[in-house]
Structure 1
Amino acid sequence: MLQLMALEMAIDLGLDEDMFQASWHWMKGFKKRFGLALRAPTRTGHDTQGDGEAALEAFSARVESIMEREGIDVVYNADQTGVNYEYLPAKTINARGENTVWIKCGGKTKYRATAMLLADSTGKKYPLFLVLKTTASKIKAVVQDNLKVRQGFGKTVWKQVEPLQDRFQCRLYGNPAAWWNSSISVAFLKYHFAERPDRATKKVMLLWDDFSAHFTDEVVACAEELNVVLEKVPPRFTWICQPADVAWIRPMKSRLRKYWIEMIRRQVRTNKSQQTTFKLVAPSRTTIVQWITQVWNDLPQSIILNGFGKCRLIQPVVDVGGVESDEVDKEMLSQLIAGCAVDDTIHLSDDIDTQDE
């Protein structure tokens, strides 16, 4: 965002791209001149690459053995991922030494949706299941009616949500936490696998991570009825054994960040023309559904196949450069979204100064 703001300021001053490019060296000097540093929380892991390779080898061998024994030709992978209404960066530029850093945004940092992705080893993608946050009724009978008739939504919200399913070719469910559960798992299996023409004679395999709502007695019984073999992805090793985590989710999240930044830039440009106090407006429910379905639909078949290939579930495919970098996004947001009111705290021990990199 620092780069974007500098370029926009240069345009306002009448400078063209040949005269000023806001290069990496300029940004480094700018941060040094004003005593600024990148701040970010840190994380550590316990499993090594060698551990992951061993888990992958055992997992792929087990899948191959089951496929041969059961006569399975097609492997599916489903994975859920959280989608935030606001993609705040992991880093922000701030004066050095301060204990508290204010991360400004549009007030919906706690709002999220859950997206369940599904694709198979032929590269085919399937309609998304999205779980959105909705308020639960205090009347038990109404709650049960909402679950049975309106996929968790109340009557008023359902009138707004139901048309979005046909408009964006997805399925929408609602609950107070916007979280996946076993009843949605059953609906997911029935929606995608109940109408298979060869269901009675041909088994398929579905790879799912070891999440409790994926393997309840009700879900397992439904899978058996639909002739679907459920196979758990090794816990702690989804990053190397699950196609979605290996190849699909990162480019999707990168594109979602680009949509969010473009929305902020439009709001900033509008605010400049109106000369009013800037207040960021977070995306609506409809916009979030549109963004998620659009990035999934735009994901190339080559990336889907690349995920299965890297997990050794099909023959390796040529690696594709479909992952869009999000490095700019992490540096770019602090000044665009001034004027809103949400904060976060980063301790000095988590202070990362990349000035001398």
Structure 2
Amino acid sequence: MKFPAGIIVCAHEKGWMDESGTIEWLEKVWNKRPGALFKKPAILVWDMFRAHKTDEVKNVAKNMKTTLAVIPEGLTSVLQPLDVCLNKPFKDRLCKMWSEWMCSGMAKLTKGGNLMKPEISLVTQWIKDAWVSIPSAIIEKSFRKGCISSALDGSEDDAMFDDDMTEADDEK
């Protein structure tokens, strides 16, 4: 199956993430980010999920010159950039694409009259298009709001309380 350029599809046979999936993500995605080729030191911020904290995952990250920072339990919704500002506009965009597909006449029915799911290649294209449509300003704000890339002089320490950095920016 052909997927859009830049899309990597991997799946666990039981549909969940584990240590090997985390390592695969580090190798196939994280290790392909800008600067990774030159082993430029980086920090990776993620939640308390047990597969993020295994010794093997820590060793793989260390070999990639990546420092792991784990968001304390219960604070993911406050500090994780995806949860803070990005998931909602991303999912809204995906939902809009699915709705447009449904209304376009492209959706087909099975012999039993049930809706056929869209082809995975189409869904991956929607995912890519939805991500590309997120303005970089929203991504930057999500890191500031999560206090991950705040100014070192303390001038942005209260960014997490700034309501102007949430849904109002989605449509830009």
TM range (shorter): 0.7 to 0.9
Aligned equivalents of 2:108 and 2:64: distance in 1? 53
Deviation at 1:181, TM superposition (A): 2.2
Say if 1:264 and 1:280, in contact at 8 Å, map to a contact too: no
Number of the residue aligned with 1:8: none
Identity %: 27
Number of the residue aligned with 1:350: none
Q: Which amino acid aligns with 1:226?
A: M
Deviation at 1:323, TM superposition (A): 2.7
**Distance change in 2, residues 1:267/1:206 (3 Å):** same
Deviation at 1:298, TM superposition (A): 1.4
Listed as ranges, the gaps of 5+ residues in structure 2 are none
Match of 1:237 among 66, 75, 82: 75
Number of the residue aligned with 1:169: 6
Number of the residue aligned with 2:124: 289
Q: How does 1:241-320 map to 2 (within 5 A)?
A: 241-267=79-105, 279-313=114-148, 314-315=150-151, 316=156, 319=165
| Relative contact order, higher structure (CA 8 A, sep 6+) | 1
Q: Give the number of equivalent residue pairs.
A: 154
Aligned equivalents of 1:311 and 1:305: distance in 2? 10
SS in 2 for 1:193: helix
Q: How does 1:56-95 map to 2 (within 5 A)?
A: none
Number of the residue aligned with 1:147: none
State the Cα deviation string for residues 152-200 of structure 1 (Å, max 9, x = none): xxxxxxxx2xx31xx331211123233222222222223333772542x
Say if 2:85 and 2:165, in contact at 8 Å, map to a contact too: no
Deviation at 1:255, TM superposition (A): 0.9
Number of the residue aligned with 1:182: 19
Which of structure 1's runs of 4+ aligned residues deviate more than 6 A?
268-271
Larger fraction in helix: 2
RMSD (CA atoms): 2.8
Deviation at 1:229, TM superposition (A): 0.6
SS in 2 for 1:171: coil
TM-score, length basis structure 1: 0.39
Listed as ranges, the gaps of 5+ residues in structure 1 are 1-159, 272-276, 325-357
TM-score, length basis structure 2: 0.76
